[in-house]
Amino acid sequence: MNLIFRMKFLAVECEDGTIHVQNIVEGPYSSHLGQHHVHSKESFSKWCAENNLTIKVVKGTCNCGLKPGDVKEYDGYVWHNPKFE
C-alpha cells in the first residue's frame, strides 16, 4: 500500500509587505501544520521560482511575531534563514 502525502501552502501578505507562509502536510488520514516562515516579497518570489511553486497570496494579517527570515517549526522551535530576508 502506497501512502501519498501532499504539501500545501497558505500565503498571506501583511500590511508591512512581508509574506507569511504556513506549510500544511496532508496525508490520507490527517493533516499537520508544518513550518511557518516569513519572507520579503523578493525572497518569496525567488523561493517559489527555485522550488517550482505557484502559490496564491492573499492580503491579510498575521500575529506570529516573526520577522523576515524567521522560520518556526511545527514544534515551536524558531530559527533564521537569511535567504528569506
**What's the structural domain count of the chain?**
1
> Model confidence over 17-28: pLDDT tens digits?
999 999 999 988
Establish if 81 belongs to a structural domain: no
Establish if 77 belongs to a structural domain: no
Assess whether pLDDT exceeds 90 at residue 78. Answer: yes
16: left (phi over 0), alpha (psi -120 to 50) or beta: alpha
- The CATH number assigned to the domain holding 4 equals 3.30.420
- For position 28, what pLDDT does the model report? 87
Range of the domain at 46: 1-62
Average pLDDT of the chain, as a whole number: 95
Establish if 46 belongs to a structural domain: yes
Establish if 79 belongs to a structural domain: no
> Model confidence over 59-69: pLDDT tens digits?
999 999 999 99
Assess whether pLDDT exceeds 80 at residue 1. Answer: no
- For position 2, what pLDDT does the model report? 80
